[in-house]
Amino acid sequence: MLQKRGAIEIQFNWIFILIIGVIILGFFISIINKQKTIAEDQISASIKINLGAVLTGSRASAATASRINIPNIDIIYDCDGYIVGKANAIRAKTSFSPELIKGPVIMSWTHEWSMPFRVTNFLYITSPFVRYVFVNIGSVAEEVYDIMPNRTIIDHGEVKAFFTKELVESADILNLKDQNHYKVRFVFFGGTDPASYPLPKLGGVKRKDYTAVRINANSLQDIQGTGELVFYEKKGDRFEETAKSVFIGEASAIGSIFTDDPETYECNMQMAFNMLQIVNTIYWDRANMLKSHYQTATDTNNCQIVYTNADSFFRSINQSARRFTPAYASSLKSAADAVMRINEDTLQRSCPAIY
Amino acid sequence: MFESIAVLIIFFFLLSFGFTFYGKMQQISNMKKMRQATEIDTVSLAIKTSNLAELQCSIKNVGEPNCYDWYKIKAFQHMLQDSENNEFLTDHYYQKLGYSRIELNIIYPDHDSILLYNRTRDLAEGGGSIVTLMPISVYNPTDKKHRFAYLNITYYSPE
């Protein structure tokens, strides 16, 4: 009897140990999972804060390029900004990037957008693992290729990959070899139809990451004006047109090279237009105040006339900058060019410049 | 059996003590990181403020660093004063400058104080403020003279 009781007690002991063991194990596993989630969120937040600060600093000066080391994570980009992990998006107006940027290094470059006065610096962010192929048709391709950042940069005394660009003849497109990039972007110029070229097989690149843009310009001067943009995506072994838009100014045309999503491009250009309205309002009011000053002060150089002439063009800029469309872009450029000519006039007359 | 239970009770007691200690350390570490983030935000704000295209001196788009144009300042003031019903404008500057107060104080040869931007956080909700002073020159294009000034930038942090 006593032996039977002992045997049952041992069995209960083991069951008790098993249950407690499972509870303790489950407890520690849940702690580990929670800690893992917290650590990932902390990393995302930390990257977001530091990246945001770096982007602010980068944007402060025009025509500057920098190589930024980040953890080996993916950054998603859309109109809301840059999204790192689960952190809120880093808002970055007038910023042009591919939809997906892979670490551990990113490249940032800024270019001033003036219409005709400086409105903002456009910020371009990409990765050296994105390949940009400029198709050499006409002289403009080479000129734009030379404007783009260098392929390498000297970082702490070492030469490192910076911006992966190449200039290829149209006949050599099919001979391009896969170099293990996750994204490839072709850039065409002028009236050439990208859909007429058979595409090379680049195994590592997904269909949506194999894109092109055609910038309808035949010279650098055309790029500094306005023109049509056409976006393409790979379908089968050819490009297929997906969207059309317009560029206005060199910075905007360059933005279309970096942004593979036409909606994101248009969203950023609309933000640029909104900022233009603000800056234009200030310059307009400033011109009016200068005009008022010369109405009461001695005006030997006839400065008043110049500021009066500019009035209608400032109004035109504000009206044209309400919506980013090809028609408005064209009228905006005309008004901006007129303000630029009037500004030259003020300088020749030794009057305070309009901008 | 009761011994096992006693051991378990002591074990869980030690575990909870350990976790409380670890939690406290994490809290201190997080507060440090938030302070760092606040300092970064303050510096970012100062950089953005000193590089505002709508205020910076320029000739033919060549910007002059650490310089504000007097007439642009006045135009900027007018624009923000009339912006009460302009949701886009208030939203634009809120996104750019956040909860902060930016005041331009002219100190030589005359004295003047101009409030450029003001959006305060309700301090009853908690949080503090960090003040940054930045020297700047104010240029008048009609008399072609510079005045010494400084920007008083107060950043209202959430913590």
At A28-66, the pLDDT tens digits run 899 899 888 888 887 777 777 777 877 777 777 777 888
Mean pLDDT of A161-188: 92
CA distance linking residue A348 with residue A306, whole number of Å: 11
As a whole number of angstroms, the distance between CA B55 and CA B35 comes to 30
Instruction: Give the count of beta carbons closer than 10 Å to the beta carbon of residue A108.
Output: 22
Q: What are the angstrom distances between the C-alpha of A208 and each of A84, A185, A232, B147?
A: 21, 10, 10, 55
pLDDT at A183: 93
User: What b/e readout covers A61-92, taking b as 16+ CB neighbours within 10 angstroms?
Assistant: ebeebbbbebeeeebbbebebbbbbebeebeb
Per-residue pLDDT at A331 exceeds 80: yes
The residue of A20, A43, A49 whose CB has the most chain B CBs within 10 angstroms, and thus the best one to mutate to test that interface, is A49
* Cβ-contact A149, A109 below 8 angstroms: yes
Q: What pLDDT, on the 0 to 100 scale, is given for residue A347?
A: 92
A with B: how many residue pairs have Cβ under 8 Å apart? 87
CA A121 to chain B, closest CA, distance in angstroms equals: 9
Please indicate whether, in this complex, the C-beta atoms of A279 and B37 are within 8 angstroms of each other.
no
The predicted pLDDT at position B125 comes to: 67
Range of lowest pLDDT (A3-12, A24-33, A291-300, A324-333): A3-12
3-class DSSP assignment, residue A299: coil
The answer to whether B130 and B36 are in contact (CB under 8 A) is no
Question: What pLDDT sits at residue A4?
Answer: 64
Give yes or no for B142 touching A (CB within 8 A).
Answer: yes
In contact, A104 and A69? CB cutoff 8 Å? yes
Give the gap in angstroms from C-alpha A320 to the nearest C-alpha of chain B.
17
Q: Measure B51 CA to nearest chain A CA, in Å.
A: 6
Cα→Cα distances B27→B20, B21, B22, B35, Å: 11, 10, 9, 12
pLDDT by residue (tens digit) across A74-96?
Answer: 889 988 888 887 777 787 788 99
Which H, E and C letters describe chain B, residue by residue? CHHHHHHHHHHHHHHHHHHHHHHHHHHHHHHHHHHHHHHHHHHHHHHHHHCCCCCEEEECCEEEEEEEEHHHHHHHHHHHHCCCCCHHHHHHHHHHHCCEEEEEEEEECCCEEEEEEEECCCHHHCCCEEEEEEEEEEEECCCCEEEEEEEEEEEECCC
Residue A341 pLDDT level (bands cut at 50, 70, 90) = very high
* CB–CB contact B92 A20 (8 Å): no
Look at residues A152, A148, A96 and name the one whose alpha carbon lies nearest to residue A128: A152
ipTM score: 0.86
Q: Which two tokens stand for residue A75?
A: 């950054």
pTM: 0.87
Region of residue A300 (phi > 0: left; psi between -120 and 50: alpha; otherwise: beta): alpha
A289 closest CB neighbour out of B1, B54, B75 = B75
- The identity of residue B28, as a single letter, is I
Measure in Å the smallest separation between the Cα of B78 and chain A Cα atoms.
9
Q: Name the residue among B47, B89, B141 with its Cβ closest to that of A278.
A: B89
The percent of residues in chain B predicted with pLDDT above 70, rounded, is: 96
| Spans in chain B with pLDDT lower than 50 | none
- Tell me if B73 sits within 8 A of B54, measured CB to CB: no
Average pLDDT of A86-115?
87
Nearest Cα residue to A105 out of A130, A77, A78, A79: A130
CB contact residues (below 8 A), chain B span 57-76, against chain A? 58-61, 63, 69, 71-72, 74-76
User: Do residues A273 and A284 lie in contact, with contact meaning Cβ atoms separated by under 8 Å?
Assistant: no
pLDDT over 80 (residue A179): yes
Which of these, A253, A146, A239, lies nearest to A190 by C-alpha position?
Answer: A253
pLDDT of residue A3: 61
> Given a cut of 90, is residue A321 above it in pLDDT?
yes
Collect all residues from A whose CB is shorter than 8 A from any CB in B: 9, 13, 16-17, 20, 42, 46, 49-50, 52-53, 56-57, 60, 91, 93, 112, 114, 116-120, 274-275, 278-279, 281-286, 289-290, 293, 297, 343, 347, 352-353, 355
Check pLDDT > 90 for residue A298.
no
Contacts of A117 in chain B (CB under 8 A): 53, 58, 61
- Distance, in Å, from the CA atom of A266 to the CA atom of A252, rounded to the nearest integer, reads 10
| Span A213-271, pLDDT tens digits | 999 999 999 999 999 999 999 998 899 999 999 999 999 999 999 999 999 999 999 99
Half-sphere exposure of B24 (CA within 13 A, CB side): 6
Residue B109 CB neighbour total at 10 angstroms: 9
Lowest mean pLDDT among A13-27, A49-63, A160-174, B58-72: A49-63
Whole-number Å distance between alpha carbons of A98 and A43: 22
Contact A263, A236 (CB under 8 A): no
| A301 in Cβ contact with A151 (< 8 Å) | no
**What is the bridge-based pairing of β-strands A226-235 and A210-215?**
antiparallel
In the predicted model, what is the mean pLDDT of chain A?
90
Question: Smallest Cα–Cα separation from B110: which of B149, B71, B72?
Answer: B149
pLDDT band at A2 (very low <50, low <70, confident <90, very high): low
Residue A90 contacts residue A76 (beta carbons within 8 Å): no
Q: Which of A152-156, A175-179, A225-229, B117-121 has the highest mean pLDDT?
A: A225-229
Helix residue ranges per DSSP H, chain A: 2-60, 139-147, 220-223, 250-258, 262-296, 303-320, 326-348
Cβ distance of A275 and B78 shorter than 8 Å: no
